[in-house]
């Protein structure tokens, strides 16, 4: 900033010297003054650009590049890393205890309170889940396909793995999700590096639901595009195509500039023709008839557009697709019992992830309506870690759900009992990520 201050001083000196000069010198005064101002502006811009570049490079250096063995002194992380005590690989969460960026405040009570009106309810039958724990760093994930490229990386000291998505014309990333049903939910986490005020207004991350099984948009599709632009609130673009004819194309007002810099959690609910989308706790999209009636949009795919190669980078993890996503309140009232894997916790802990509050909110609504109802809350884990530790953890998680109902929704604690079963009652195969995701669940049982 020294240069900037010197130039500003020169500007003021010139103005003083010419303050009482004859009119003939007025044009010269204007020219010199403007040049000094522009020089000062350029100095400030160079300084800001330098600092931005240094921060970007530092962030990029924190990402484990598989081809550069010296970086961070780490080697690619294979499957089978020793877990910490109790359910360490419980990656059906929105992050581990060491987040890849400091902006993540998911464990704060205040952030959970913010989510108290969150109304997203994930599906209760896991169709696909991938946190890349079974893949090697540097490889393309085994449960995905692409016509471009990409690789698994780790970030900082976090045990989490991320798929880096590359940007390019007609490049798509397809997870091996079974054919999508009529009603389902999609969830994932994003992480970005290198976004700044020079990021293009056309830089976007697109989610496609399509009738094409490979690398085209399809004759029938629904597309939602999240913007990465930082200098202006671009909004979310929604588009569909029915029999190769565009019926909807709109840009929904949304300022996601802060969100995309701080590991956003994206949630999508599809109920036949209806399409809803949340970023963190806020619902931005709710279009009742965007999906083509009668068309089978069986394929999920992702696409990146207009990123600066090597500077602006985007990563995805914790992709979960689950059938269902319907109202759990009626089921609890009519059947007296529900089981859900949509209540998420930090890995190896009982800290509730904020995006779980949609389900807890529905439970509270049932209890507020059915004033005589009492519930037993039962926690379950997968089999990672020691059995005794998992049993204790499952009990703590059930207690954490009870505390949320009491402290946030004012439900009397006398109406709630808690228990934990640990890993003793699996409903899925603990040898697979999908099965583990099914086993990590909470039950609510009418007593």
Q: What CATH number should be reported for the domain holding residue 427?
A: 3.30.1330.60
336: tokens are 């007296």
How confident is the model over 170-189, as pLDDT tens digits?
Answer: 999 999 999 899 899 999 99
Q: Which residues pair with 129 in a beta bridge?
A: 320
Q: 297 with 334, same domain?
A: no
> Among 22, 41, 61, where does a domain finish?
61
Banded model confidence at residue 363, pLDDT cuts 50, 70, 90: very high
Banded model confidence at residue 109, pLDDT cuts 50, 70, 90: low
Q: 273 with 384, same domain?
A: no
Q: 132 with 270, same domain?
A: yes
Q: 37 with 146, same domain?
A: no
Query: 81-85, 148-152, 299-303 — which is least confidently predicted?
Result: 81-85
Task: Give 357's DSSP letter.
Answer: H
Domain of residue 347: give its range: 328-446
Phi, psi of 86 (to 5 degrees): 75, 100
Phi, psi of 350 (to 5 degrees): -105, 15
Is the pLDDT higher at 21 or at 129?
A: 129
> Among 290, 323, 356, where does a domain finish?
323
Q: Work out the burial of residue 195: count CB atoms within 10 Å of its CB; fewer than 13 is exposed, 13-18 middle, 19 or more buried.
A: buried
> Among 278, 293, 323, where does a domain finish?
323
- Does 411 fall in a domain? yes
- Does 265 fall in a domain? yes
| Nearest-angstrom CA–CA distance, 186 and 193 | 23
The length of the chain in residues reads 447
Range picked from 26-40, 129-143, 285-299, 422-436 for highest mean pLDDT: 129-143
Q: 365 with 269, same domain?
A: no
- Cα three-residue angle 344-366-412, rounded to 5 degrees: 85
Q: 356 with 295, same domain?
A: no
Q: 298 with 334, same domain?
A: no
Work out the average pLDDT over 282-300.
Answer: 91
| Nearest-angstrom CA–CA distance, 293 and 306 | 32
Banded model confidence at residue 427, pLDDT cuts 50, 70, 90: very high
Are 304 and 192 in contact by the 8 Å Cβ rule? The answer is no
How confident is the model over 195-243, as pLDDT tens digits?
Answer: 999 999 999 999 999 999 999 999 999 999 999 999 999 999 999 999 9
| Nearest-angstrom CA–CA distance, 399 and 405 | 10
- Does 442 fall in a domain? yes
- Does 301 fall in a domain? yes
Is the pLDDT higher at 322 or at 296?
A: 322
- Does 109 fall in a domain? no
Q: Among positive and negative, which fits the CA dihedral 270, 275, 277, 281?
A: negative
Measured CA distances, 315 to 173, 184, 302, 318 (Å): 12, 23, 12, 11
- Does 277 fall in a domain? yes
365: tokens are 């609504």
- Does 190 fall in a domain? yes
Are 173 and 301 in contact by the 8 Å Cβ rule? The answer is yes
- Does 42 fall in a domain? yes
Query: 73-77, 213-217, 409-413 — which is least confidently predicted?
Result: 73-77
Q: 313 with 416, same domain?
A: no
Q: 311 with 361, same domain?
A: no
Q: 287 with 366, same domain?
A: no
Q: 344 with 319, same domain?
A: no
Measured CA distances, 250 to 169, 271, 290 (Å): 22, 20, 11
Q: How many domains does the chain have?
A: 3
Banded model confidence at residue 318, pLDDT cuts 50, 70, 90: very high
Please state whether the predicted TM-score (pTM) of the whole model is above 0.75.
no
CATH of the domain at 161: 2.60.120.560
Q: 154 with 212, same domain?
A: yes
pLDDT at site 358: 87
* Full DSSP string of 194-206: S--TTS-TT-EEE
């Amino acid at each position: 900033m020294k240069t900037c201050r010197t130039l500003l001083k020169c500007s003021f000196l010139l103005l003083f010297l010419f303050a009482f000069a004859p009119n003939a010198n007025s044009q010269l005064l204007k020219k010199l003054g403007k040049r000094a101002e522009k020089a000062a502006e350029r100095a400030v811009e160079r300084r800001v650009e330098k600092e931005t570049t240094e921060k970007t490079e530092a962030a990029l250096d924190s990402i484990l590049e598989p081809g550069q063995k010296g970086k961070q002194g780490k080697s690619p992380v294979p499957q089978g890393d020793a877990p910490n005590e109790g359910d360490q690989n419980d990656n059906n969460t929105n992050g581990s205890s060491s987040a890849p960026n400091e902006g993540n405040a998911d464990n704060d009570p205040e952030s959970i309170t913010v989510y108290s009106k969150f109304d997203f309810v994930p599906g209760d039958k896991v169709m696909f889940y991938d946190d890349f724990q079974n893949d090697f760093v540097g490889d393309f994930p085994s449960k995905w396909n692409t016509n471009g490229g990409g690789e698994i990386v780790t970030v900082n000291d976090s045990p989490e793995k991320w798929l880096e998505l590359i940007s390019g014309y007609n490049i798509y990333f397809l997870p091996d999700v079974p054919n999508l049903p009529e009603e389902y939910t999609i969830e994932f986490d994003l992480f970005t590096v290198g976004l700044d005020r020079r990021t293009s207004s056309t830089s976007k991350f697109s989610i496609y639901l399509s009738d094409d099984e490979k690398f085209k948009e399809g004759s029938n599709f629904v597309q939602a595009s999240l913007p990465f632009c930082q200098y202006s609130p671009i909004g979310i673009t929604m588009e569909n195509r029915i029999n190769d004819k565009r019926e909807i194309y709109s840009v929904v007002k949304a300022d996601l500039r802060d969100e995309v810099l701080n590991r956003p959690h994206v949630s999508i609910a599809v109920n036949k023709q209806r399409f809803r989308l949340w970023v963190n706790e806020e619902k931005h999209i709710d279009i009742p008839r965007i999906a083509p009636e009668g068309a089978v949009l069986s394929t999920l795919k992702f696409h990146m557009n207009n990123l600066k190669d090597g500077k602006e980078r985007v990563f995805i993890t914790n992709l979960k697709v689950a059938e269902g996503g319907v109202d759990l309140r009626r089921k609890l009232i009519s059947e007296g019992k529900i089981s859900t894997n949509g209540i998420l916790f930090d890995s190896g802990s009982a800290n509730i992830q904020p995006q779980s509050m949609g389900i807890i909110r529905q439970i509270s609504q049932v209890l507020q309506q059915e004033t005589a109802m009492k519930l037993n809350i039962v926690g379950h884990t997968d089999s990672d870690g020691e059995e005794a530790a998992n049993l204790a953890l499952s009990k703590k998680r059930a207690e954490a759900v009870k505390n949320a109902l009491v402290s946030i929704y004012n439900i009397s604690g006398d109406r709630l009992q808690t228990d934990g079963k640990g890993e003793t009652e699996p409903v899925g195969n603990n040898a697979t990520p999908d099965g583990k995701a099914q086993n990590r669940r909470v039950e609510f049982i009418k007593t």
